[in-house]
Amino acid sequence: METGSTTAEGQALLRGRLTGRSIAMGLMGSLLLSTCPSWPVGSTERVEVQIDGVVLPVSVAELGAFVRSPTADPAQLSRSELSTWMGLLAPDSRQGLIRLLKAPILSRRSLGRQLLSSWGAGPLLDALGELIRVEDGKRINRSLVLSTLEQLLERQETVSTLDVLEALPTQQLRLDLDALVAAANRWRLELERHQTLMRTLAQKEVRLQLLKGAERSVSAEAPRQSTLAVDHRSRPLQVERWIPQSPREDRTWVLMMPGLGGDPNHFHWLARSLMQAGWPVAVLEHPGSDAAAVQALLEGRQSFDGAAALRDRLADLAAVLDAQRRGDLNIPGTEVVLMGHSLGALTALLASGLEQVPGMEQRCKGALVGLPLTNLSELLQCELAAGRALEGNAMASLPRAVVGLNSFGGLIWPHRSRQALPIPLLIVGGTLDLITPPLDEQLPLLAGLAEHPYSRVVVVEGASHFSPIRVDGQGKASEGDDLFQLGEELVGVNPLSVQRVIAHEVIRFLDTLSSESPRNDAVHLIEASSKTRWHRLGRRPALQLMDQ
């Protein structure tokens, strides 16, 4: 359709369709493109915008000049398709589009750059190809997109949407705004679900809970280092041991596993707290999926195979359990509690004998078509399933209990297909976690797996996926972990206060393992000094939250 023949009726139709949506579409587009890699140096000359079957070809050079103009007023543009299109947008919508095009979507140190080198990049780029196509309606070439984004990142610290459009080496693009609006609406509905959970929790009447202050002297209580030769690794496995002077009479010990990109020192604060409360603790280092491996991934020195990493982690776990039983690690105790963060929590659940629920392939197809930008763990879950890493991982005997921090597995164990875990289960999550969000991960896991009356989920307001991570010497509540230097939007609010809450709830849970009358009613609490709020829920209250 020629722009010169656009009628007043057609303009009104386009205005109605676009007004109020471009900010949502802009944010969605920014998120979509942030999951892609950088693009090679080329020259995209035109962009075609399609909505209701109308195609408006737009010059990328003119678009760039408009976005970079101080006024960005369509009246200042020459008579063109772009001026007509921009004139149809309300001022707020036009500014939303400008913010989208100028916003940095990828940086050299971003989590997105890890994703680009992972299995998850492929499904996301395939989904993106349904929204953005090149000449003759062809899909975007996945490897071309990856290589161009990488080249842009080599030349500059950050990449914007406009940078991507200008660098894409093709003559023109076709944006399917109908599909983009549909994707944006799905994403908006997902965000609304999570926001509803946060509002519901925020309205609960809370009671005051006094928590202990910081742990005792760090320097006086360092871990003991051990090495363990294992058949599946070329080098000995490193194990940190935290041994209390007077272990508890229940003879329980804790085996702790960091998440992807995590190191033992990220969890010294928790291991120290548990040791001070009387539990012996062993903390594993997982070469190949630890901080050094992720750093190599960010620098392009190695790729990441999630299925292989999980198999190695399960083998690490089995080797440590065998060595402890033989007395080779000198860790007192007869029953083990498996504890992990993120991928470490999934490792603990699989080692407890849980098998994936049939139908994983279909669940993954549905999740990936919907672009899981509010739950990035779904990409890893589908990678692990495709790599057949979720089968046959049970320990020789059940652990005493499982503790999962920011755990995931909502696709592996959907809550409507119950696969009960007969041991106590503690699952901890945070309302600001968009990698393993509680509404899709921790709450469904409790609903689907919790059979034991001691099982519970703890949701901490303002906590994110990275709130449990701390490096010794990190003194400010606003600091993130040492690898990514994350800001508050990813670290969450008051991470040191959140960590006190986590330690309190983990110790309380471990204490109940020796209790004879557990109470799992909903309890809503607030910490006296930091005003951090959290919610301890049994299976029934968790189900009620999910059904709201």
pLDDT digits (tens, 9 = 90+) for 333-382: 999 999 999 999 999 999 999 989 999 999 998 887 766 667 888 888 99
**Cβ 541 vs Cβ 309: under 8 Å:** no
Residues 505, 407, single domain; the answer is yes
Q: Is residue 238 part of a domain?
A: yes
Q: Is residue 211 part of a domain?
A: no
Residue 295 — pLDDT band, cuts 50, 70, 90? low
pLDDT band at 47, cuts 50/70/90?
low
Are residues 448 and 340 located together in one domain of the fold?
yes
Judge if 176 and 63 occupy the same domain: yes
Domain membership of residue 210 (yes or no) is no
User: Is residue 203 a part of any domain in this protein?
Assistant: no
Which domain-ending residue is among 186, 208, 232?
A: 186
- Quickly state the pLDDT bin for 534 (edges 50, 70, 90): very high
422 and 543 both lie in a single domain: yes
217 within domain boundaries: no
pTM of the predicted model as reported, rounded to 2 decimal places: 0.78
Looking at the domain assignment, is residue 398 inside a domain?
Answer: yes
Instruction: Determine what percent of the chain is predicted with pLDDT higher than 70.
Output: 63
Stretch 80-91: mean pLDDT:
64
The answer to whether position 406 is within a domain reads yes
* Residues 178 and 241 both lie in one domain: no
Backbone angles phi, psi at 390, to 5 degrees: -105, 10
CA-CA distance, 231 to 65, in Å (whole number)? Answer: 60
Torsion of CA 272, 276, 282, 283, to 10 degrees: -10
What domain range includes position 17? 3-186
Do 282 and 180 fall into the same domain? no
> How much is the pLDDT for 176?
65
What's the CATH number where 441 sits?
A: 3.40.50.1820
Strand-pairing partners, residue 47, are: 58, 173
Task: Single out the residue in 163, 186, 209 at which a domain terminates.
Answer: 186
Give how many domains the chain has, as a whole number.
2
pLDDT for residue 55 is more than 80 = no
Instruction: Say if residue 173 is in the same domain as residue 237.
Output: no
* Spatial distance between the Cα atoms of 194 and 203, rounded to a whole number of angstroms: 15
* Of 229, 252, 251, residue with least CA distance to 239: 229
Residues 180 and 99 both lie in one domain: yes
Q: Do residue 522 and residue 447 come from a single domain?
A: yes
Average of per-residue pLDDT across 127-153: 69
Provide the CA 337 distance to its chain's centre, in angstroms.
Answer: 25
Residue ending a domain, among 160, 186, 212, is 186
Instruction: Let me know if residue 192 belongs to a domain.
Output: no
As a whole number, the mean pLDDT across the chain is 77
